[in-house]
Structure 1
Amino acid sequence: MEHAYRLGIDAGGTFTDFVVASRKSGDVKLFKALSTPSDPTKAIRDGLKLIADDFGITPAELVADCDLCINGTTVGLNALITHRGGRTGLICTAGHEDSIEIRNGHKEDGYRYDPEYPAATMLVPRYLRKGVRERVISDGSIRVPMNEEDVRDACRLFLREGVETVAISFVWSVLNTEHERRAAEIVREMMPDAILTVGSELYPQIREYTRTSTAVTNAYLAPVMRRYVGAVDSYFRELGAKQPVRYFQSNGGLAIGQAMTDRSVYAINSGPASAPQAGLYVGKPFGRDNVITVDMGGTSFDITLTRNGQTNLNKNIDFLRYRIGVPMIQVETLGAGGGSIGWIDSLGLLQVGPQSAGSEPGPACYGNGGSEPTTTDANLVLGYLNPEGLLGGKLPLDKAKARQAVAKLAEPLGISVEQAAYGMFTIVNSNMVNGIRRVSVERGYDPRDFVLVGAGGATAAHITALAREMGIDTIILPKLASGLCAFGQVISDVKYNYMATAPLRLDTPGASERIDRLFEEIEERGVAHLKADGFPGTRIDIGRSLDMRYVGQVHECTVDIGTFRITDETIGRVKDAFHARHEELYTYCERHSAVEVVNIESTIYGRIDKPAPPRLTGQGSAELALKGRREAIFDTSGSATSTPVYDGSKLGVGATIAGPAIIEEVTTTIVVEPDWTAALHESGSYLLTRKG
């Protein structure tokens, strides 16, 4: 039987988004349920009930008729933010117990010279880091055999202390895995119920601190992800799902639940990592592949940049103060959402965020007990949001409570409530613009060369102001913007990264043969993994990259290469690719200098069928969609302008609206500032352009 639907679920800090795509017609429906951080699976149950009621079927019938059910989750991210991971033990080379605390002697950028900047919270306390007498040296040979009793002593301590997850990371284990493998056997023997992370398996790359930190972070998150995946998988099995639930990874691809529990570190940026794929998808009908996707939800603001159809991947970075080595979609995240709280600092200046009211209690206007002024309250005061409520009236708003909350800022500042609200709007926009600059200007990209794609429920109220500040004159805003990350999931492929280390100069005899053999070995494992998952060979693609540098350099850069066989005749193509990448990154290259490889990586894709692209068919003028006028504020004076308000559901293809205007979709509200024009395209996106 051919399944009718594909389901994407994206759990955010305030709302959990559900996208149901028809595999044949391309019709997409979006649903929202309040997130339930204390029990994330409850939000899934609530959302599936909403969908089932709308379709006139049961949740079991819905799930049974889905070819794939995909889940992007913030569970791992939240556990790392709140330090609520598992009780973790570390087994490492004796003398290296403090490497995760020494951190290569490095402070994060921006705090390098700040003596008062506090140390990062350690995921493994000092007494649960146990050194083992052993030593592998840089040529892979064993200098000191492993003392197995040290490993057993560590296990005895871990058992006494209630450790539930263990990380193993030895020096130079990537060149000789014998000691780590034997240590893992002992841990499995003595602690059969513990979750085990082996550094040379998870991140088989050079850099001992990065490998250890990555292994520790993975171990720390593994119990949380195991419980979450177990609960979600069990729930969907009970509903009769025909396929295992797929989970979205921070590398931009899908994985089965077992992979997410074994490689929990890939769950850290699970939600926003699908934004670039969605941004490219909605940009394609307009011929745009230089895309900055911005996602403003209730709690945070996420930014990704895609240039020439390629999204940057980060490796070996500090994320939430913890070094992560595995590839992650480059996402700039800041505390600027609809729930961001306005406050006055010690200098008497107005600030917004990063503190957030979240979904519990939420903004004051939600009427759930919140009393602090938030961005959503300010937008309601400014007239941008419908006072009758959001989500088609299902989430009523209380404008009086919003004004009371914003008045807490207005009174001490000696300004009107309207001016305070516009001040909050301006400041949160400034915070978001600074984030956009970090992913564009600070990395050598001119934001004016990009189109701005809006995602997230709160973005549309701010996006013309953001584009104006950045000098961007084109915006693409899908009707399903508030669930764009969930939509990105349903059009994504399965993706796994396989790595190996290969420290050698390209001019060394036999270098090409060794590199090619390593690629074949890791790709054989990856292809076998996907075939076991049901993918035929015709549905499997491979991408290759190498971390390379000039001999004598400290840091390497990642270079994508084709899948050609690497021989003495083709090794020159690898060198040329490195020189070109180095020049692109640093404006120069040294073709006369020797080049060395540090690590290699293969990305294995399992290609899935994509739902048909959505298409709008109805025609309708803006006049037919006009539902009234509302007083709205567009400048610092606090003076209101009578602004036309349009019902987005009644707009047809080609309908054009000149600002100032407000367009109300069911799950988002679009504020079209003066000098901007919005036109609805047949692909289901609004194209917003600014007068030259």
Structure 2
Amino acid sequence: MLNKYRLGIDAGGTFTDFILADRDGEVRIFKALSTPQDPTLAIRNGLKLIEEETGITPTEIVSNADLCINGTTVGLNALITHTGAKTGLIATSGHEDSIEIRLGHKEDGYRYDPEYPPATMLVPRYLRRPVRERVISTGAVHTPMNEDDVRDACRFFLKEGVQSVAISFVWSVLHPQHELRAAEIVREMMPDVRLTVGSQLYPQVREYTRTSTAIVNAYLAPILQRYVEAVDGYFRSLGARNPVRYFQSNGGLAVGSVVTDQSVYAINSGPASAPQAALYIGAPWDLKNIITVDMGGTSFDITLTRDGRANVSKNIDFLRYRIGIPMIQVETLGAGGGSIGWIDSMGLMQMGPQSAGSEPGPACYDQGGERPTTTDANLVLGYLNPDGLVGGRLPLNVAKARGAVQAHLADPLNMSVEKAAYGMFTIVNNNMVNAIRRVSVERGYDPRDFVLNCAGGATAAHITALAREMGIRKILISKLASGLCAYGQIISDVKYNYMAPAPVRLEGAEAAAKLDTLFNGLEARGRQDLAEDGFTEDRIAIRRSLDMRYVGQVHECTVDVDPFTVDEAALEKLKAAFHARHEELYTYSEPQSAVEVVNVESAIWGRVDKPRRVSIAAGRGAHTALDGTREMIFRADGTAQDTPVYNGAKLGAGDRIAGPAVIEEVTTTIVIEPGWVADLHDSGVYVLTMTEE
């Protein structure tokens, strides 16, 4: 049962979103400017804003909340800006450079580009210390570990001021004793450092991936520790009765101690909640295939759910670093409201990926920004209210917007300000469409089979243009769209992932017994961890996956299955699931070939009570919400037309608005292009449908 309140906080590059739900079903959204220099300051500012608007003090909210949930970009920002902790690596002698060798190739897309620079190493060469030890692929010890090498490494790290240490040995997942003994020595000699043990963090076959994942975790751990301690301390000072939950990249919640120890799970936590929110919003129509697009001030994030499940990726290159742990698949593009327009060396207009962010922000924010941005273009086109955003708390300067577009784009390209602004709008839309294709078309999905779901404060101004280009005929826009990821957090569950190596061929009773024992052991750990967190057995759900391949293949693919007893007969079910998945990914399968498992994983959820679904009263007709008209541009020639503007707060269930029109919600502006109709559902969701080709 929901306590009096539930609070979700999602920190973005420009805004930090706050969703406050109460037991009566009221859900309210608030926005505060992000404070990258001190992320906790944005939380304080947001709670102060809530108090100003509602009269509810931060102490009253927090002390009466069953859950306070935080999605943070602290880890992501540290990885982007290379401002993590000074990190040392203890590795098997001869393997110190595996993170630099990178399996012998660059990332996909740059493999044959000799000009593409190498990635910045999170652990420089001099801080990678070798240890003489060797375990072979059977798990047998070939060379015992030389403990003096570990002690030498610790002494060197102490002298160099290392703050965090990662340990990763070859084949440690089959024989972890060497890593565990090395960890004991590090804790003894360096009691104040953060320590990451590769075989515990990511117990999966593949040395490079395991080592890289351990390093990223170690690099971020002190940063996340300081952040979690600051946030937890602040909420305790407000009388929190329950621990703060943090949103993870795997799509679930965890307590701060877990996020600190497994910091790599917090890298992309913000947009990872979007699929859960999309499914919840689409539930009244039983929608399972949804593409969610989230355009904020800095970036554009895309996630996809198919048949009710979000795409999950493992073993990917994220910001040029290989990360093995499961993450909700998020395609990110430098295309936000703050994306800057510029002219390239060929004299062509471009948009982004550079962003004005929140400081100084777009030119129209009148905070010192001089470059034209997407927000400036939307203001020139008439889509945004010149009186300001966020209910007028963020005033907009039309003259500054027009001046920036004219000086940097229109005059150099010898065109009108209006045409230049529409060109900016079109280019940023094309960039976003290409990114949507990467998560759909390039992965074998037809976007026309999906509904487009709107998230983020800036998305709704572009959503009908994106859908038209993709051939998508239905759009969902919640009244909470600008804070959809924060909303996704308050309806999400606790989730942990448990992994184990399982190098076994799918043949015979012995193989079946080994897999069954592994899965049961992982799930017993999960049940115990969730029981300690207060979850009863009826609140626990499990989903299994296996990394499988044909014998002789180099790479494997992940196959998801529901839990069942793995006996010899069940091996045929696993083989059939693998053949089907292989064909789905690569258009062919080899049923006659032998199949082997490399790794296994169990994802375990602790189900959390959900807030009541939003419900709004019936409307009195869209005409009652008409606030007037504004000149807007919907054509490349820059011709403006008088367009109705509706106040979203005055619209009710059943109200219908035909485009062209604009609906102004407090934290987002919905642009309905010609040929689209919007119907407001009683769940507070606008359903937009295309009425003409």
TM range (shorter): over 0.9
Residue type of the alignment partner of 2:308:
G
Residues 550 and 596 in structure 1, CA contact (< 8 A), matched pair in contact too: yes
1:622 corresponds to: 622
Residue type of the alignment partner of 2:529:
H
- 2:296 counterpart of 1:297: yes
Cα distance per residue 1:646-674 (max 9 Å; x no partner)? 00100111111111101100000000001
1:149 corresponds to: 148
Residue type of the alignment partner of 1:68:
L
Residues 341 and 349 in structure 2, CA contact (< 8 A), matched pair in contact too: yes
2:198 corresponds to: 199
2:473 corresponds to: 473
Q: What SS class does the counterpart of residue 209 from structure 1 fall into?
A: helix
C-alpha deviation, 1:563, in angstroms: 1.2
- 2:159 counterpart of 1:180: no
1:245 corresponds to: 244
- 2:434 counterpart of 1:434: yes
- 2:492 counterpart of 1:519: no
Residues 93 and 132 in structure 1, CA contact (< 8 A), matched pair in contact too: yes
Taking the aligned partners of 2:2 and 2:268, their CA distance within structure 1 comes to 32
C-alpha deviation, 1:562, in angstroms: 2.0
Cα distance per residue 1:522-563 (max 9 Å; x no partner)? 112111111111111221111111111111111111111221
Residue type of the alignment partner of 1:287:
D
Aligned pairs (5 A) from 1:212-251: 212-251=211-250
Residue type of the alignment partner of 2:266:
A
C-alpha deviation, 1:54, in angstroms: 2.7
Greater mean deviation of Cα atoms: 580-589 or 345-354: 580-589
Taking the aligned partners of 2:519 and 2:481, their CA distance within structure 1 comes to 39
Residue type of the alignment partner of 2:72:
T
Greater mean deviation of Cα atoms: 314-323 or 46-55: 46-55
Residues 316 and 323 in structure 1, CA contact (< 8 A), matched pair in contact too: yes
2:344 corresponds to: 345
- 2:513 counterpart of 1:510: no
Taking the aligned partners of 1:63 and 1:207, their CA distance within structure 2 comes to 44
1:603 corresponds to: 603
Q: What SS class does the counterpart of residue 402 from structure 2 fall into?
A: helix
Residues 17 and 32 in structure 2, CA contact (< 8 A), matched pair in contact too: yes
C-alpha deviation, 1:286, in angstroms: 1.9
C-alpha deviation, 1:589, in angstroms: 2.0
Q: What SS class does the counterpart of residue 476 from structure 1 fall into?
A: strand
C-alpha deviation, 1:310, in angstroms: 1.1
Runs of at least 4 residues off by over 3 Å: none
Equivalent residue pairs, number: 691
1:545 corresponds to: 545
Greater mean deviation of Cα atoms: 397-406 or 504-513: 504-513
Q: What SS class does the counterpart of residue 566 from structure 2 fall into?
A: coil
Residues 455 and 481 in structure 1, CA contact (< 8 A), matched pair in contact too: yes
Taking the aligned partners of 1:288 and 1:22, their CA distance within structure 2 comes to 26
1:562 corresponds to: 562
Taking the aligned partners of 1:497 and 1:291, their CA distance within structure 2 comes to 24
2:487 corresponds to: 487
C-alpha deviation, 1:2, in angstroms: 6.6
Q: List gaps (5 residues or longer) in structure 1.
A: none
Greater mean deviation of Cα atoms: 318-327 or 580-589: 580-589
C-alpha deviation, 1:509, in angstroms: 4.9
1:270 corresponds to: 269
Q: What SS class does the counterpart of residue 593 from structure 2 fall into?
A: coil
Residue type of the alignment partner of 1:422:
Y
Residue type of the alignment partner of 1:243:
N
Cα distance per residue 1:191-213 (max 9 Å; x no partner)? 00000000000000000000000
Residue type of the alignment partner of 1:9:
I
1:374 corresponds to: 373
Taking the aligned partners of 1:108 and 1:26, their CA distance within structure 2 comes to 47
- 2:672 counterpart of 1:665: no
Taking the aligned partners of 1:665 and 1:620, their CA distance within structure 2 comes to 18
Cα distance per residue 1:543-601 (max 9 Å; x no partner)? 11111111111111111122111112322222222222222222222222111110000
Taking the aligned partners of 1:406 and 1:430, their CA distance within structure 2 comes to 19
Q: What SS class does the counterpart of residue 487 from structure 2 fall into?
A: helix
Aligned pairs (5 A) from 1:107-122: 107-122=106-121
* Identical aligned residues as a percent: 72
Residues 509 and 567 in structure 2, CA contact (< 8 A), matched pair in contact too: no
Taking the aligned partners of 2:672 and 2:450, their CA distance within structure 1 comes to 19
- 2:165 counterpart of 1:166: yes
1:85 corresponds to: 84
Aligned pairs (5 A) from 1:307-346: 307-346=306-345
Residue type of the alignment partner of 1:495:
K
Aligned pairs (5 A) from 1:634-673: 634-673=634-673
Residues 507 and 571 in structure 2, CA contact (< 8 A), matched pair in contact too: no
C-alpha deviation, 1:316, in angstroms: 0.4
Q: What SS class does the counterpart of residue 269 from structure 1 fall into?
A: coil
2:572 corresponds to: 572
Distance 1:562 1:287, change over 3 A: closer
C-alpha deviation, 1:376, in angstroms: 0.4
Taking the aligned partners of 2:118 and 2:570, their CA distance within structure 1 comes to 48
Taking the aligned partners of 1:476 and 1:514, their CA distance within structure 2 comes to 46
Cα distance per residue 1:379-425 (max 9 Å; x no partner)? 00110000000111111100011111111211100001111111110
Residue type of the alignment partner of 1:365:
C
Q: What SS class does the counterpart of residue 413 from structure 1 fall into?
A: coil
Taking the aligned partners of 1:2 and 1:208, their CA distance within structure 2 comes to 44
Q: What SS class does the counterpart of residue 288 from structure 1 fall into?
A: coil
2:134 corresponds to: 135
TM-score by length of 2: 0.99
Residues 630 and 644 in structure 1, CA contact (< 8 A), matched pair in contact too: yes
Q: What SS class does the counterpart of residue 86 from structure 1 fall into?
A: coil
Q: List gaps (5 residues or longer) in structure 2.
A: none
1:420 corresponds to: 420
1:355 corresponds to: 354
Taking the aligned partners of 1:403 and 1:619, their CA distance within structure 2 comes to 37
Residues 550 and 594 in structure 1, CA contact (< 8 A), matched pair in contact too: yes
Taking the aligned partners of 2:633 and 2:405, their CA distance within structure 1 comes to 15
Q: What SS class does the counterpart of residue 575 from structure 1 fall into?
A: helix
Residue type of the alignment partner of 1:418:
E
Residue type of the alignment partner of 2:574:
V
**Cα root mean square deviation, aligned:** 1.0
Taking the aligned partners of 1:682 and 1:6, their CA distance within structure 2 comes to 22
1:411 corresponds to: 411
Taking the aligned partners of 1:54 and 1:374, their CA distance within structure 2 comes to 30
1:388 corresponds to: 387
2:10 corresponds to: 10
Taking the aligned partners of 1:336 and 1:465, their CA distance within structure 2 comes to 15
Residue type of the alignment partner of 1:215:
A
Taking the aligned partners of 2:555 and 2:533, their CA distance within structure 1 comes to 37
Residues 52 and 62 in structure 1, CA contact (< 8 A), matched pair in contact too: no
C-alpha deviation, 1:26, in angstroms: 2.1
C-alpha deviation, 1:309, in angstroms: 0.5
Q: What SS class does the counterpart of residue 677 from structure 1 fall into?
A: strand
Taking the aligned partners of 2:418 and 2:589, their CA distance within structure 1 comes to 55
TM-score by length of 1: 0.99
Residues 644 and 660 in structure 1, CA contact (< 8 A), matched pair in contact too: yes
Residue type of the alignment partner of 2:343:
I
Taking the aligned partners of 1:554 and 1:26, their CA distance within structure 2 comes to 52
Taking the aligned partners of 2:439 and 2:620, their CA distance within structure 1 comes to 38
Residues 622 and 655 in structure 1, CA contact (< 8 A), matched pair in contact too: yes
Taking the aligned partners of 1:570 and 1:302, their CA distance within structure 2 comes to 39
C-alpha deviation, 1:321, in angstroms: 0.3
Taking the aligned partners of 1:486 and 1:93, their CA distance within structure 2 comes to 43
Taking the aligned partners of 1:271 and 1:478, their CA distance within structure 2 comes to 18
Q: What SS class does the counterpart of residue 411 from structure 2 fall into?
A: helix
Taking the aligned partners of 1:165 and 1:146, their CA distance within structure 2 comes to 22
Q: What SS class does the counterpart of residue 510 from structure 1 fall into?
A: helix
